[in-house]
Structure formats: C-alpha cells, structure tokens
Structure 1
Amino acid sequence: MNTLPVVVVGAGPTGLAAAAQLRERVLPVVVFERGDRAGAAVAEWNHMRLFSRWGELIDPAARRLLEPTGWTAPNDDAYPTGRDWTRDYLVPLANALGDTVQLGTEVIGVARRGRDRVVDAGRDTEPLSVHIRRPNGTEDRITARAVIDASGTWTTPNPLGGEGLPALGERAAAARIEYRVPNLDDPDVRARYAGKHIAIAGSGHSALTAIVALADLEKRAPGTRISWVLRRGEIGAAFGGGEDDQLPARGALGLRAKQAVDAGLLQVVPGFRTATVEPDGDGGAVTLVSDTGIRIEDVDRVVVLTGFRPDLTWLSEIRLGLDPVLQAPVQLAPLIDPNVHSCGTVYPHGVAELSHPEPNVFLAGMKSYGRAPTFLAMTGYEQVRSIAAALAGDHEAAARVELTLPETGVCGGVGVFDDPATGGAEEGGGCCAAPDPQLITLSTPSGR
C-alpha cells in the first residue's frame, strides 16, 4: 500500500506545502484543488495584506523545491498582499509541482475501500477510497495510502445569528449581507458602501481590517456611518497587543482600529447577539434586533466577520476524532481553545495531535483548528512537515518541534492570525468580563 499516493485536498498554502514536504520525502502525492488555480481561496482576498512577513509565509521544503527553478524569492522582510502571495509563491510552487496538482477537481467523499464507517474489519489494512469530480463533471475514484485535508474553511463562514445559526431573516436579507471584508479598491464595491449605514459584526482581525477600511471611506464619503456590533459585553482586548505584538503589522492594525473608535468614526454596540434581521417597509435597509431587544435601525449593508467553520460533510464515512466544541482533533483542541487560552498562546504541534481513529487521515491547516480562530500559516507548515515525516517512517522527525510561534502580547481571548481573511473569536477569553448589555436604539437622523 505504500506505493499508493498520498492525496492532499486543497492547493492553498498548507496543501502545497504538504506536497513539497512529501515530494522531498520521495513519497507519491497528488493534490486535488476544486478551484481553477492554486491559491483559489487566497485569490478572493487579493486586496488584503497579511500580518506575517514573506520569510514566515514560505514553507522550507517549498523554498528548496522552488530555488532550482529560477524562482525569484521575495524580500523576507516585506509584507505581501493576498495577490502577492498567490502570484509570487503559490502559483510558482504549483507549477514546480507540475502534474502533482490537478486543478478543477473536487473531492466529494472519502471512505475506507469497500467499507462504510460502521465496518471495523480492514480499516487498518485497506487503502482509502477518494471520490472526485473532474472538471468535465464526471466522477472518478482513486485509492490512496493517506489523505491530508487542507481544504480550509473559507467556503463556510459563520452566520450573523448569535446562536451559531442564521438569524431569523438573515437568509432573506442576503443581498445586503457580506461575509468577507469588502474590497473598497473596486469602484463598484465602494459605491455600495459610500454614504451608507454599515454594520460590522465581529471582533477579530477581519473586523478590525474592515473598521480601518470603512472608517477611511467614512472620512471621504459624506453620509457614511458605521456601527460595530460586538457579541462580547465590552471591547476589552479586541484591539490586540499593539506594540507588544510580536507580529508588528498585526499590532499596528489594532492600533489603527482603536484610533478610528477613539475618533468617533463608528458607534460601538457591545453585548449584541443578533436574533432577527427585519426588512424595512420600503424594501431598502434592514434593522438588526438582538436577543435582548436592542435594535440597530436603517442598516444598508451588514459585514459579517464572525469566523469560519469546517465543512465535514464529505468526510461522513471517515471516523474522525473531533472535539465536540471546536470540531478540531481531540488532542489538538485543548491547545487552541479560545475559552482557555486567553492570551493567544498556540503551541506547536504535529502528527500526534492531528491523528484520528481512522488511520492515515489528517486535517491540516485552518481546517484542523475547527472553529478556533488562532491560526498562522507557519503552524500549517509545521503540521504537514510532521505528517510527511511520519508517513515516511521518520518518527523522530515527526515528533520533533521545529517551530517557535510569535505571541500576541495580549490577554483577553484575542486570536492569533496570519490570514486576514479568517474571522475572530466572538466570545473573548478568560479575562474578558461581559457585563449585561443596555437597551439602545440607533436610528438614522430624520432627513436621511
């Protein structure tokens, strides 16, 4: 069975790093990417800049693979945008991997060959069966020695509703809701927000990014108004560690967002868990209503940045060992739980923490963190280095830690982010108290 390939799901940063690590170990590998390009998800937030420098965004094995190809390495100390990361690293890496990367191919299911999840016999001897859909729509099945799911969470954002389910009326109001940071460099997008009342829901770094961008628009476009909707009872440490953050760009983002709040460029609405989205009578704006009756009226656009969750539907026939709270591997969950690690501490980890009851199946990258918001690209690279070593039989290397992660410099449940497209932990952490919310109504002045 060792002659069968390792299937990697997703040609994003972690998936391509996994392929580079496996190739360096001389293990057969194939990468299936449902998008039409490497880094398809990253390409959807091209306009955003990462918190990490280039030197922290290039996997070591990938660098070794790229260097002989004539690839020009970016300046290690520069901060790329999503567009830069895709163009200058992910696409060249996919090209260097050649036929290993199969674009436009979606993995629609994984099982143990000839067995559903109920059958015990053969689960440690039979190969994995990977069902795929080719670009022309035909379905196929290949056998694999192992599967590394690095498909991420980008396609499954959390809803606006405060219970983890869509708020009443949220689906009906979809035309007015955006679950990503809007690209205000696009004139058409900017026109949808200029001069409007915008509600930003979320307390992570995506929300801070949106605050900074929309506050700048407010200064340039008369009539633009922003309400920042927080489930937590107070802002607390949402702005991050500032100058104490070991990722300076991340700390600077928090400081810029704080400046916008201090300057009165937005109304902060704490203790607000959205229960209902009510349409206005004329079919224009909407009203957000919390579970305690707080109302935010005349909202033209809602930017929901409440984090992401893993899509586990196509893994239904695989025996995963997932924490019931975070939907992360049970051995990993205690290390990343934002309810416990209120100072943003994330410990390096590898194959031991990422293993499941199903042999040779691994969730890696952002998907491995389930609903936890604490993820850095270099964490994903360390994960797949350890997994590749284990699959190659190098158990000493698999167990070795080869990564030191930067600290946030804060205490208060703030997550650690590399990817600015990820959302934030809405509940806060151990030292963020949540006082009872007060009933307020935010209405547009007459004459609007």
Structure 2
Amino acid sequence: MVQDELPVVVVGAGPQGLAAAAHLLERGLEPLVLEAGEVPAAAVRSWGHVRLFSPWTELVDPASGRLLAGTGWQAPTEGYPTGDEWAEGYLAPLADALDSRVRYSTRVAGVSRRGRDRLVSAGRAEQPFVVHLVDAAGGESRLEARAVIDASGTWGLPNPAGADGLPALGERAAVQAGVLGYRPPTPAEAAAVGGRRVVVVGSGHSALTAVIELGEVARTTPGTEVTWVLRRGAVGDTFGGGSADELAQRGELGVRARAAVDDGLVQMVTGFRVEAVERDGETLTLVAEDGRRLASDRAVVLTGFRPDLSYLSELRLDLDPVLQAPRALAAEVDPNLHSCGSVSPHGAAELAQPEPGFYLVGMKSYGRAPTFLAMTGFEQVRSVAAELAGDHEAAARVELRLPDTGVCGGSGLFDAPEPAATGGCCGSPAAAAPALVTLGSPGA
C-alpha cells in the first residue's frame, strides 16, 4: 500500500487527539483515532467533577468548532465548565462527528516501522509506521500508518508520593487497601472523610482543588483534620498568581486555598519528603526522609504525572533527559529553569522527532512538566496537521497568545527555608535575569 493512502493514526480521543483529527480532515488527510477507553475523553471524565480554570471560549478548538457547526452544534460562550460538562457538551459531540474515525477500547501496545526495529537505519523513513493494538478482550492486531500523533496525555501515570520519584516503601500496599489515591476527591468522597484525618501531598492545581474541597468539609464537620504536605522547604508561590493571573479562575484557586489555610481549616507542612507509608490498623502514617511522622486516615497524592513511553521503545526519540519532553520544547516548560508561568506558542518544528512523521502533542509533549493549557494543544495540532499536509508556511506560523500565570520562578526554591526576595516578577525589570530555581517533582 502506498503510504499516502494510509491514515494518520492519532493516539487518544481526548481534547487534543480529537482536535488533531479535525485539523487533519480539514487538510484532506484521513485520521484514525485510537482510544483505550470505552468513550471519548475517558481521562477527562475521570476528573469530571473538577471545574476548569479556562473559559469555554478557550476550550473549543477552531477546526473542531467548524466541523461541529455543520451538525448544528453551537459553541458555549460563557462560563467555566467542569470536566464532565466539557466532555458531554463538546468532546462527545466532536467524537460523534468524526464517527468511525474514532475507535474505542483499543490500546496501543507498540509503535514501530514496518520491518525495522530501532537499530535499522536503511530505508527506515520510507517504511510506514506499524501500530500494535490490544482490544478489550485481549485480542491483538496491527495496522499501518503514514504518520502517528501521540495525544495520549499523562493522566494514567501519576507520580508517586515517594520524594525520590519511586513509590515510597509501603505505598503500593496503601493504594491496594484503598487508603491512598492519586485523584482529587469528588464532593462525595471529600464528605466521606468528615470527622477524620486526611493528608494532601502536592502543590499543583489538583492539590489546590483538593485542599479547597476538603477545607469546606473541615468547616462544616467537626473533627475533620486536613494537612497539606509540600516537599519544598517554603510555601513560596504555592498559591499562584492571584489577581495577577490572566486566567481569573486559576488565580482564584490559590486565593481560596490560602483562605482555607488562613482560616485554620488546613494545616501546612513544608519540607516533608515521603520515604515510607506505614499502616497500623486504620491509621496511615507518612514517614519523611528526616524522620518526621504524619498520621492520618486517608492520603491524597497529587504530585503531577509522567508520560508513558513504554510502547514507543522502538522509535527514535529525542527527549530532554529531565522532563522527558521533546528537547526543543523542554527549556520553555522546565520548572527548574522557567521564570514566568507562560510558554511561547509552538508547533511542529519544536515537536518533531528524529523519527519523521511522529509527534508527541498535548500534555504528553510537556513530559513531566505541569500547567498545560488546552489552547496550547490546539495550536500544536494545527501546526502538526499543516506540516503533515505539506503546508510548511502554515506550520511555522504562530496563531496564539497564551495568558500569563502571574507567577515567576517556577514552583519555588526546593530547599530554602524562606522565599528568596527577587525584587520583582513577570513583566518587571527585575525579571529580566531570573534566578535559577530547583524543584523535586513537578507540582509537588
């Protein structure tokens, strides 16, 4: 089969995968979206109770909107949807519009080149991609593709509580016992810990969301104890940019979390790097590397996510050794180096890999870095689709301005007992030469 007659395989039927398919269709290329879940946006639905801090106007991809307009769908223009509302109001109709181009309950088990393992260079680029699949019943199959866009995200691979990046001793057993989890609690789950002790580990937006929800339980239910654990030695900019954040709802998360702490509903513990998780009856104890012990009844670990690269082992990738993100993009999103909370719009040029025709997009393109915006991914897939269609000028064109977080210095100094005085923040003269900051794990 001639490669041009093959589909472009898109891994993942989430916001970026479905948007990629819409852009490919506009470019005259045939997409095939492979989704491991039983429904579109399965990962989004798993945190469906959480409200996004981007408004509806920034959550609809332009090409997807044009495709949906032909079905009579009208884009919401006001408000901030929850994950469930985003999935039901936009992503599910988009998947329906793509029809048979989306295949569910299909897990990608491997991607390679036809007849070429990773070592073979001769004629490699001339061979189509081979995508190995496993269905819900365990049946195996394979298909060929002219190109592959991996938009599978990182939601399925959360970072552990262990401060060294590996599960703490006893952590796996705590997960199996149902007393430690990696998802923000739903309102019902938060209410269920009323009158008990709960620990939240992490400092990203998911942690802020959990702290706010649990703080409200502590406000209304006597005996509820909420402890918020940070690995870093100081609170720093954990609460975000506040009113300086150009995404008001994102800034509001920090404002509300700070209020929960100031009101005494949540206790903060800094410099706590988990080494072990112990269980004694119904008591769960987190043990820090410095010997401190923190007892609770339930732990919620929200320390970020990491990409699953296991099924890409036979492809030639050029990834940053720290973030596991495309090397050309890593310096823009690395919280160890990045001064202000925004990233320049980017596309096919930054996402390209030594394996021609293969691209990582969406949250997965950020590797282990946090704070990805949907509109960033929409720009990515627009550019990649243009590049695959041969429109190099459009691929190189920037069509997006991203909002600033109002936060400088990544996520704060890891070991400093107090925040360092910088004399300024984003947009100020003092920010021209930002100081180097270090971070243990993104979002922690």
2:342: which partner in 1? Answer: 345
2:179: which partner in 1? Answer: 176
Corresponding letter in the other structure for 1:40: A
1:294: which partner in 2? Answer: 292
CA distance in 1: counterparts of 2:229 and 2:136, whole angstroms: 41
2:400: which partner in 1? Answer: 403
CA distance in 2: counterparts of 1:411 and 1:336, whole angstroms: 13
Q: What SS does structure 1 have at the residue aligned with 2:131?
A: strand
Deviations 1:387-411 (A, max 9, x none): 0000000000000111100000122
CA distance in 2: counterparts of 1:277 and 1:135, whole angstroms: 34
Contact 1:198–1:225 (CA under 8 A) maintained in structure 2: yes
2:97: which partner in 1? Answer: 96
Q: By how many angstroms is 1:191 displaced?
A: 5.2
Corresponding letter in the other structure for 2:287: V
Alignment of 1:162-173 (within 5 A): 162-173=163-174
Q: By how many angstroms is 1:266 displaced?
A: 1.4
1:223: which partner in 2? Answer: 223
Counterpart among 43, 61, 64 of residue 62 in structure 1: 64
Identity within the alignment, %: 61
2:435: which partner in 1? Answer: none
Deviations 1:141-178 (A, max 9, x none): 11100000000111100000000001111112112101
Corresponding letter in the other structure for 1:338: P
Corresponding letter in the other structure for 1:46: G
Deviations 1:250-290 (A, max 9, x none): 1111100000111111111100100011222xx11111111
Contact 1:346–1:374 (CA under 8 A) maintained in structure 2: no
Counterpart among 358, 361, 372 of residue 375 in structure 1: 372
2:417: which partner in 1? Answer: 435
Contact 2:231–2:414 (CA under 8 A) maintained in structure 1: no
Contact 1:364–1:384 (CA under 8 A) maintained in structure 2: yes
Q: What SS does structure 2 have at the residue aligned with 1:332?
A: helix
CA distance in 2: counterparts of 1:330 and 1:128, whole angstroms: 22
CA distance in 1: counterparts of 2:172 and 2:192, whole angstroms: 19
1:308 aligns with 2:305: yes
Q: What SS does structure 1 have at the residue aligned with 2:328?
A: coil
CA distance in 2: counterparts of 1:433 and 1:302, whole angstroms: 24
Contact 2:134–2:140 (CA under 8 A) maintained in structure 1: yes
2:201: which partner in 1? Answer: 201
Q: What SS does structure 2 have at the residue aligned with 1:129?
A: strand
Deviations 1:289-328 (A, max 9, x none): 111111112x100000000000111111111111100000
Corresponding letter in the other structure for 2:27: R
2:110: which partner in 1? Answer: 109
Q: By how many angstroms is 1:134 displaced?
A: 2.9
CA distance in 1: counterparts of 2:356 and 2:200, whole angstroms: 42
Q: What SS does structure 2 have at the residue aligned with 1:407?
A: coil
2:18: which partner in 1? Answer: 16
Contact 1:236–1:432 (CA under 8 A) maintained in structure 2: no
1:332: which partner in 2? Answer: 329
1:277: which partner in 2? Answer: 277
Corresponding letter in the other structure for 1:183: T
2:358: which partner in 1? Answer: 361
Q: What SS does structure 2 have at the residue aligned with 1:119?
A: coil
CA distance in 2: counterparts of 1:322 and 1:374, whole angstroms: 19
Corresponding letter in the other structure for 1:330: R
Corresponding letter in the other structure for 1:404: R
Corresponding letter in the other structure for 2:147: A
Q: By how many angstroms is 1:61 displaced?
A: 0.1
Q: What SS does structure 2 have at the residue aligned with 1:143?
A: strand
Q: By how many angstroms is 1:3 displaced?
A: 1.6
Corresponding letter in the other structure for 1:397: A
CA distance in 2: counterparts of 1:129 and 1:84, whole angstroms: 35
Q: Which runs of 5+ in 2 are unaligned?
A: 419-444
Contact 1:271–1:434 (CA under 8 A) maintained in structure 2: no
Contact 1:245–1:251 (CA under 8 A) maintained in structure 2: yes
CA distance in 2: counterparts of 1:136 and 1:165, whole angstroms: 31
2:28: which partner in 1? Answer: 26
1:233: which partner in 2? Answer: 233
CA distance in 2: counterparts of 1:253 and 1:190, whole angstroms: 17
Deviations 1:389-445 (A, max 9, x none): 0000000000011110000012232xxxxxxxxxxxxxx24x676229xxxxxxxxx
CA distance in 1: counterparts of 2:407 and 2:315, whole angstroms: 38
1:150: which partner in 2? Answer: 151
CA distance in 1: counterparts of 2:384 and 2:141, whole angstroms: 26
CA distance in 2: counterparts of 1:178 and 1:194, whole angstroms: 17
Q: What SS does structure 1 have at the residue aligned with 2:99?
A: helix
Q: What SS does structure 2 have at the residue aligned with 1:2?
A: helix
TM-score normalised by the chain length of structure 2:
0.91
Contact 1:348–1:382 (CA under 8 A) maintained in structure 2: yes
1:319: which partner in 2? Answer: 316
CA distance in 2: counterparts of 1:247 and 1:153, whole angstroms: 23
Contact 1:348–1:403 (CA under 8 A) maintained in structure 2: yes
Which deviates more, 271-280 or 302-311? 271-280
Corresponding letter in the other structure for 2:37: G
Q: By how many angstroms is 1:193 displaced?
A: 1.2
CA distance in 2: counterparts of 1:193 and 1:144, whole angstroms: 49
TM-score normalised by the chain length of structure 1:
0.91
Q: By how many angstroms is 1:135 displaced?
A: 3.8
RMSD between aligned residues: 1.2
Corresponding letter in the other structure for 1:201: V
Deviations 1:197-247 (A, max 9, x none): 111000111111001000001111111101110001111111111111000
CA distance in 2: counterparts of 1:120 and 1:88, whole angstroms: 46
Q: What SS does structure 2 have at the residue aligned with 1:254?
A: helix
Q: By how many angstroms is 1:136 displaced?
A: 4.0
Q: Which runs of 5+ in 1 are unaligned?
A: 414-427, 437-448
Alignment of 1:402-421 (within 5 A): 402-413=399-410
CA distance in 2: counterparts of 1:285 and 1:397, whole angstroms: 58
